[in-house]
A and B are shown apart, each in its own frame.
Chain A
């Protein structure tokens, strides 16, 4: 096992910045991660030397671009261990992927069918299903959580029935860091014949995920949180299931033949990729996964866990700190409040000292309602953060607290 954070940091030019006179301490990785040089270079090179539309041209550049785009798909397929590359649909991101499933899978649902989500979900994994409640009269059931931020598995078992058609659960909570026992939950869903969607927006950047080992039916994630570009993401789906679903959007690329009477649809993955896609985004995401794949991901996981433990111990030494999210299995997210201090005040004063954190409800208002708070301060760590970052963060935090006391 080997992991050298200093070497990793060299790959990320943005980390050398200063904010005013303070070095940038970037602890908002839950919102988006920074990009390694190879990804930036890939994007620049594409527009400099390779730009063309894909799947359409007979000319050299178009063929080259098509090959690069499809190669990116294969890299991603290998990384998540999908059986086929065409099981990986390029989308705009997690939100778009979930909306695709809600739209297309939703078409197959009937009044009285049930979808299960959890109390930990991001708004992106709540609102698309609420649309189906309105449009289709389906029922949305919510698995409760406890104070630590763990899902109540017994309650989940009780919610499952032959009415359950889909369970859609976040792998890792963006607000609390909880890592859900997704493999076990998938098994339980399959026992009643329900499909399972994993919201992996917060997992692949922290550890390896294998869709065949999990046996999930769908998985959604965003490129920009996994060291790739914004505006691109993936919906993984099992082949049989994707073939069964009606298309999402209509347009170019997704069709086989079009007449005014009838249109037949293209094969996977094109059926779900209408219009000119975010080509450079896809290629950039491929580069990000290539970069990620050459790391020792077990070592990364261990390292991030160390960072979390270190930060947690340090922050607990500050008087009147309350940490939100103390799940058994937790990723490197530290959500907290200090006394009755407003998160926004603390965030502002941290920002003045070069420390980037997020404040607010983190698009998970139901979690905040559960704790009866308007929001938290969230520091979320990535593989390029160091103990020194945490020391500077804690120092800046202590100064902010003194000023606000």
Chain B
């Protein structure tokens, strides 16, 4: 699936729920599917700066594709990073760098996060793209 196809899938999933409490329930469920980062990478260097809760992120390249793992101490942060990983993991570095990630706007996620958490979301995306850039020519 392309990034955009995955985004479309998420937009459709979110559309089922009317109430934001239900959407949060879904985000929390997503957190449980997260590909958890191995303990050796749960270090200071892997913490994403700008999140009020602690979020760790790691990426590896295999067959020219980037795969992410992560963890967070807060469940909602875990759900959000899991959502981003669903969309971006398994794509090439170029595709990740080009991704517009319009689905975030589409599902209205940003407006439903507090400013600090919204900054956290921006920081997560930035960090994922940085990994793609760093691994691109490796």
Contacts and interface: CB of A to CB of B under 8 A. Distances in A.
For the residues of B in contact with A, the DSSP-based class is helix
Interface in B92-138: 112-114, 117
Given A342-B73, A404-B75, A348 B24 contact: yes
B21 A345 contact: no
A274 B114 CA distance: 37
A345 B76 contact: yes
Contact of B20 (A341, A342, A352, A360): A352
A360 B51 CA distance: 13
Given A351-B114, A360-B52, A344 B24 contact: no
Interface string A148-187: 0000000000000000000000000000000000000000
Interface string A214-256: 0000000000000000000000000000000000000000000
Contacts of B75: 341-342, 345, 404
Interface string B14-43: 000000110011001000000000000000
Categorize the interface residue count of chain A.
Answer: 10 to 19
Interface in A338-356: 341-342, 344-345, 348-349, 351-353
B74 A399 contact: no
A403 interface: yes
Interface residues of B, number: 16
Interface in A375-405: 399, 403-404
B69 interface: no
A342 B28 contact: no
A349 B21 contact: yes
B53 interface: yes
A403 B25 contact: yes
Interface string B48-78: 0000110000000000000000000111110
B73 A403 contact: no
A352 B111 CA distance: 12
A403 B20 CA distance: 13
A352 B108 CA distance: 14
A244 B75 CA distance: 55
B20 A344 contact: no
A353 B22 CA distance: 11
A20 B28 contact: no
A348 B21 contact: no
Contacts of A344: 52-53, 74, 76-77, 117
For the residues of A in contact with B, the DSSP-based class is helix
Given A20-B20, A344-B53, A345-B75, A404 B114 contact: no
Contact of A404 (B20, B28, B52, B113): B28
Contact of A353 (B21, B52, B53, B73): B21
Contacts of B76: 344-345, 348-349
A342 B78 CA distance: 11
A351 to B, nearest CB: 7
Contacts of A353: 21
Given A342-B74, A342-B75, A399-B21, A348 B28 contact: no
Given A353-B21, A360-B52, A348 B73 contact: no
Contacts of A403: 21, 24-25, 28
B74 A345 contact: yes
Contacts of B114: 348, 351
A137 B113 CA distance: 45
Interface in A71-110: none
Interface in B75-93: 75-77
A28 B24 CA distance: 23
A44 to B, nearest CB: 28
Nearest to A351: B114
Contacts of A399: 21
A348 B117 CA distance: 10
A399 B113 CA distance: 19
Interface of A: 20, 341-342, 344-345, 348-349, 351-353, 360, 399, 403-404
25 contacts: A341-B75, A342-B73, A342-B74, A342-B75, A344-B76, A344-B117, A345-B53, A345-B74, A345-B75, A345-B76, A348-B24, A348-B76, A348-B113, A349-B21, A349-B24, A349-B76, A352-B20, A352-B24, A352-B112, A360-B52, A399-B21, A403-B21, A403-B25, A404-B28, A404-B75
Which 8 A-B residue pairings sit nearest by Cβ, starting from the closest? A342-B74, A345-B74, A344-B74, A345-B76, A344-B53, A345-B75, A352-B20, A352-B21
